[in-house]
Amino acid sequence: MKRMHIHLRVADLTHNIRFYSALFAAEPTVIKDDYAKWMLEDPRINFAISTRATETGLDHLGFQVDSAEELAEMQARLAAADLPIESQEGTACCYARSDKHWSIDPQGVAWESYHTLDSIPTFNEAGDVVAEGSACCAPATPVAVPVTISIKPKAATSCGPNNSSQGSSCC
């Protein structure tokens, strides 16, 4: 069974742990000096935050799978998207050793599909390189992505924490 994975870069780990613990009504399953992770069942998600990057915000999205067979299926899906794929076997990243496949969507968002093999005591082991500016182990070399889609923003809506939009569905 697949689990959605989201990794955010944050400036202040303690405040973010407090916020996301309240939001998820659950404490992190992993807490390190620079990293925290929640393995949630409802929704089924692996949500991680870290302070290891120069900028805050979205680091990457992905799918954590339970088997090598599911990882092969995800690789086939990425290949069908006709975008470059970078594969890594037994790589150390985010306190875990994993087999994984990376791609970059047309907007430049990194997508990771991975199968965790074991936990490790350090964020990355010696010899593994973290991409510059990345909190995690995104592809070592930027993947060239041909952007051919023009996305135009929709008209502004009144979505937000202090506004409500009657009759419409907000993001």
Note the Cα 51 to chain centre separation in Å. Answer: 14
Domain boundaries, the chain: 3-119
In sequence order, which residues have a C-beta less than 8 Å from that of residue 39 and are 6 or more positions away? 3, 29, 46
> For position 136, what pLDDT does the model report?
61
Kindly report whether the peptide bond that precedes residue 43 is cis, defined as omega within 30 degrees of 0: yes
Q: Is residue 102 within 8 Å of 112, Cβ to Cβ?
A: yes
pLDDT in tens, 82-127: 888 999 998 888 788 899 999 988 888 999 999 999 888 776 665 4
| Beta-ladder partners of 97 | 92, 118
Domain 3-119 fold: 2,3-Dihydroxybiphenyl 1,2-Dioxygenase; domain 1 (3.10.180)
Q: Which residue has the tokens 């350090």?
A: 122
> For position 141, what pLDDT does the model report?
44
Residues 157 and 117: their CA atoms lie apart, in Å, by: 44
Q: Report pTM.
A: 0.69
Alpha-helical (H) ranges within 54-134 are: 68-80
Q: How confident is the model at residue 79 (pLDDT cuts 50, 70, 90)?
A: confident
